Structure 1
């Protein structure tokens, strides 16, 4: 399955489960681990776990085996590694604390300009 198709499948699963504040980050060239990160919030630990499980179920229906899954037993933050796409489903407080969007959406040109000042 192409990366774009996988992202569409993931976004569909997140929408089906009413995940909140879904953001897709293109990290190709910034990370050697993956090309895309999808970050979403859940409304409770149970919701976070259910959303992540729906992502797993949808990709497995398409014959895709996840590379890894972390955090299923806790529910504050579940990471689903699908290779080219990594999905983070988080409680809002964990999402705010780790601020993955800011971390991975840096602009090298603006960072270089800031360092020159």
Structure 2
């Protein structure tokens, strides 16, 4: 089931033309989630649209969303799918926080 959700999320990101998608297995680093997915949107509207489509597809396939953060400002939207955390960011925000560097230590 987790693999299906992971594949669904990655396929949705690709279909919505998210940029620089990076899927990281962080299961050895934390017990919060098994995967972190980082991606970039071209604009705040694009970030929001990607988040909307992921939420729509996940619900349609019968999976649960534990939370969505940052939707209003849409510089960085985080979607908590349980064992998968999805980060959709504007390029400037992604560059500023460099979260992937923190998780790849």
Q: Say whether residues 1:105 and 2:99 are aligned partners.
A: no
- Post-superposition offset of 1:53: 0.8
1:80 maps to 79
Unaligned runs of 5+ in 2: none
CA RMSD of aligned residues (A): 0.7
TM-score (norm 1): 0.87
Count residues in correspondence: 105
How is 1:1-117 mapped onto 2 (pairs within 5 angstroms)?
A: 2-106=1-105
Q: Which has the larger radius of gyration?
A: 1
- Post-superposition offset of 1:51: 0.4
Where do 4+ consecutive residues of structure 1 move more than 6 Å?
none
